[in-house]
Structures are given as structure tokens and as C-alpha cells.
A and B are shown apart, each in its own frame.
Chain A
Amino acid sequence: MVKITYVEHDGTEHRMEVPVGLTVMRGARDNDVPGILADCGGACACGTCRVFVAEQFRAIVGEPHAIEEAVLEIDDSQRPGKRLACQIPVTEALDGLIVHMPERQF
């Protein structure tokens, strides 16, 4: 299990333990963490699972792939660390991950 902290826009933190093999999105959605909608269920299509990865984890989480980048253009936020949570697989290396959710997903 991997510890992930999901931080709402107002600063409320949700500390979850997420099984390796799921995605960061599933960790939030399956535990009803507010702030992630994931309407398409993880298909990298809808753009409603956007998160901002905390700076210290960006290197290990990595950059978005090409399609993800194109979907992330659903909003014009320039805040660094923007990713789709459904495209971040949970691995042991992400233990302690912190992600911030936007004020709105739509």
C-alpha cells in the first residue's frame, strides 16, 4: 500500500493508502475524496481528474504523455505539476505522494 495525500483547494487534506497497481485517480475516487470527478473512468478523455503534483514528487511522477498533454489543455492553468490523476500509476516509489486538486474540475 502506498500513502498518498490529496489536498483540496481549501487546504483540507485526505490521507489515503492506495494499493500498488491502481492509479492516483482510483485512490481518490474509490475513497470518495472530493475534488476529482473522473467522469470517463480513467480513459484519459474527460480531463476531470486534474491534479497538481507537489514539487518534490514531480521527477518521480514524470511528465504527461502526448495524449494526456492534449487533454490537459482543457484548462489554461499554467500551474506546474499538472497531470491527469488517471494517468499516474501507483507504485512503491510514490509512497508519500502529495497531490493538490484544483478549485473546480469543470
Chain B
Amino acid sequence: MDDGQFPGNVAAQAEDRPRQLIQDLQLPNLAVNEDWFAANPIPQLDAARAEHPWLAASPLGFVVTHYSAIRDLFKLDSQMRGNYVEMVDMMGAADTPWGDFQLGHILNARGERHQRLRDVLAPAFTPRQANRHRQLMRDVMAELLDQWAPRGAFDFEEFASWYPIAVISRMIGSPDEAIPQLRASLEALGRSVSMDLRVLAAMQEGTQRLDAYCSELIVKRLAVRKPDDDNDLLDVLLHIHVEGKLAQPELVNILTFLLTAGYDTSKNVMTMMMFELCQSPDVYARCAADLDYCTKAVDEAMRLHGTNNMMRIVTEDIAYRDVLIPAGTTLFFPWAIAGQDPTVIDDPHAFIPDRPDQIRHMGFGLGAHMCLGQHIARAQIAEGMHLVAQRLLAPKTTGPRGWRPFPGVWGMEGLPITFSSA
């Protein structure tokens, strides 16, 4: 097993060596846009790496299949951009509510605009801020468990879906009564990067509803401001807006984006983590007893099954190893499962939270667009699952009912569980 470093790393790019154009390579093919692939991608990726050590072809672009190659290429993040323009075009959604939302959000921002948005938002998303919200996270999960635990059986994905939306709602001072409506819209918007035309109508409706809701929330809060010592996340954003650093349309977009970005991702990670925990009762018991260990279990779960698989368009030629990747090439980064690479970790498919050879997962992405909410997400998943493990005893599952599309936000569709209550 190598140490995770490629011989042809970023520093060696300047070497004058013969390189082959990526489009001219004979590569294995990965059907990343097929339902059957989404249901079981690991053997496909393993087989692809046996044919070529770090690249595969796919209908959506060239797939970077090796853990270290992904990390190396993201050191050249400035030579790539998101594919949102192409995605909106492909969906025929230019000048529509969903299309405008995708092109306006922070993940599609570049250069100065991106830096400005990150700079204004960063203070609200540090580890310090995440830690300040831990009691809120515990309170929300405790209330959810009070409602759901007496049932003895339920769909864990459905249960988990109510948690992140309730946490972010309370962080922005949105009333609990609005959660069902928000959740319905977010379920649709979670499919945005899957490039599935079948869900476009639902995504359009979801975008319009969220946009209207966020606009109304902002107007109401601007009219009646909270005292400075009782400021929540929305107040922080409004303060930035009032200072002139954030225009109103940007503010609406950011609020919509925060709701969207934090919903499916946490829900999917929790669901896939519960699947693993159901098969590891000793780990489950330790998660109940020890929050620090539970946090390690979150990281290990994200190594095994993150939830994000994203594309990038190369904007300047990239020379990496013996391959030339010209500008205009689409690269597909399967972050969600890159951590199951046997060349960088022993026993890659096993769920071992305190493994000594742990590698850094890519569940929050890499580079300048790395998940803004990562610290909040990690804290809320750990706090949530710590309480779940204490209240839902000896859980069992027959496995997921289905799988979401692999491109974009991947995960299980439905995870029925049975359990006994504490």
C-alpha cells in the first residue's frame, strides 16, 4: 500500500515529460448516471482502478478514481470551476427560478465575488460557532426522539430528515410550524445536481416556495430586530446586509442555499451511518456512551459513505502525472466513496471508527468551495447520533429501500429500522 502520495504530484507538474491527452486514453467506463450504479458503486470503482490506476470515463466526464489523485488535483482548484452553467443548460432551465438559484449561489461564484461571500459568511460557521449551537442540537434531537422513539419501528431516513431542518430553522429563528413546508421544498431541491429531468418541475416549485419564504422571513426580521445580545444567524446575515456588504437578492439566495445545503447532506450521512451502526452493535454502544468516540464514528462513516459527488470543468490545462487534461474537460470527483480506496487504507470497506490508519475523508469536499457548514454538520451529526444511540436500543434494519442518483447528493432512499426504546 502506498502512503497516499502519487509520484507524479503537483510539484512535479513542471517536469518536462511526455504526456498523453486524457481524451486519447483507453479507459474503463463507469455508468455513474445509472440507478444500478448508485445502488452499488464500490465494486465498479475497484474494477476500474484495476484497469487504470486513477482515471475512468463516464457519460458525465472523466472520473478521478484514486484517493490521492483527487487530493492532488484539488491543489489546482483555481484551474477548475463548477459545472452549474452546463447543468442548468442541460436541464433546459436557463432563466427559471431553479436555474437562477443554481447560477446565483455561492458554489457557482468565483474570484472576487466568491471571496466576498465567504468572507462575510465565515464568522458564522467556525468551529467556535458550531460548538455554541451544540445545546440547541441536543434539544432538537431529544424532542424528535420523544416523538419517534415510542413507535418501535420507523424509516430512519424520514426520521433523520426532520433533524437538520429543525436545527437550521432554530438557528435562523424560523418557526417550527414552517418546517413541514420547508422540508417538502428541500426534498425536491436535494436532487439539483443529479441532472434528472424528471424532478425539474418539483425543483422549480421548491425553489419558488423557498425563495418566497426566505424573502418573507427577511422582511419580517428587518421590521422587528432582535436585541444585539439575542442575535441569531439570521440577524448576523441581516447585519452584514445593512452594512451594505450583501445585497437583498444575495441575502435571499444565501438563506435558501443554507437551508438547501444543510438538509440532504446531514440527513444522508446520518442514514448511512445508522446502516453501519445497525451492523456494529459494539460501536453503537460506544457511540451512546462517548461523544468523542461518536464523533470519530461520524468521520469514519463519512469516509465510507459521504454524500457528495461533484463535477468540475477545467479552466486551464492541467498536467498531472503522464496525462494532459486540457481546458474544457469535465472531471467527476466521487468524493463520497473515495475513502474506500484500498491503495491508501487497509480493510477499506470495514467500519472501524478508531482505526489507527485513518485517512481524511472528503465528505465536505476540497478546495475553496469546501463545505461552509462542515463544522456545524459534524457537530450536529455527532450530537444527534450520540442521543439516538442512547434512546433507540438494539436497532436492526433490512437495508435501504433504494438509492438516490450517484451524481450530486447521493445516499439511501429509506432505511426501515426496528428497535426497542430506552
Contact = CB atoms under 8 A, between A and B. Distances in A.
Do chains A and B stick together as partners? yes
Interface stretch (A2-10, A41-49, A53-61, A89-97): A41-49
Interface residues of A, number: 24
A71 interface: yes
B75 interface: yes
Given A29-B75, A32-B11, A46-B374, A70 B368 contact: no
Contact of B370 (A39, A71, A106): A39
Nearest to A42: B368
B181 interface: no
Given A40-B368, A41-B366, A45-B372, A71 B126 contact: yes
Contacts of A39: 360, 362, 364, 366-367, 370
Contacts, number: 66
Contacts of B122: 44-45, 67
A70 B123 contact: yes
Nearest to A75: B127
A32 B9 contact: yes
Interface in B285-310: 299
Given A32-B9, A41-B77, A73 B372 contact: no
Contacts of B360: 37, 39, 48, 105-106
A86 to B, nearest CB: 11
Interface string A51-95: 000000000000000110111111000000000000000000000
B333 to A, nearest CB: 13
Nearest to B75: A29
B74 A41 contact: yes
B23 interface: no
Contact of A73 (B10, B127, B299): B127
Interface in B87-129: 118, 122-123, 125-129
B40 interface: no
Interface of A: 29-32, 37, 39-41, 43-48, 66-67, 69-74, 105-106
A40 B367 contact: yes
Given A29-B75, A45-B122, A106-B299, A71 B367 contact: no
Given A41-B368, A45-B122, 10 more contacts: A30-B75, A32-B10, A37-B360, A39-B364, A40-B370, A45-B125, A45-B374, A46-B364, A48-B360, A73-B128
Nearest to B375: A74
A96 B70 CA distance: 33
B131 interface: yes
Interface of B: 5, 9-11, 74-75, 77, 118, 122-123, 125-129, 131, 299, 358, 360, 362, 364, 366-368, 370, 372, 374-375
Contacts of A40: 366-368, 370
B381 to A, nearest CB: 15
B75 A71 contact: no
22 contacts: A30-B10, A30-B75, A31-B11, A32-B10, A39-B360, A39-B366, A40-B368, A41-B366, A43-B370, A44-B122, A45-B372, A46-B364, A67-B126, A69-B128, A70-B123, A70-B126, A70-B127, A72-B127, A73-B126, A73-B127, A73-B131, A106-B360
Given A32-B5, A32-B9, A46-B374, A41 B75 contact: yes
A69 B129 CA distance: 12
B118 A71 contact: no
B128 A41 contact: no
B302 to A, nearest CB: 11
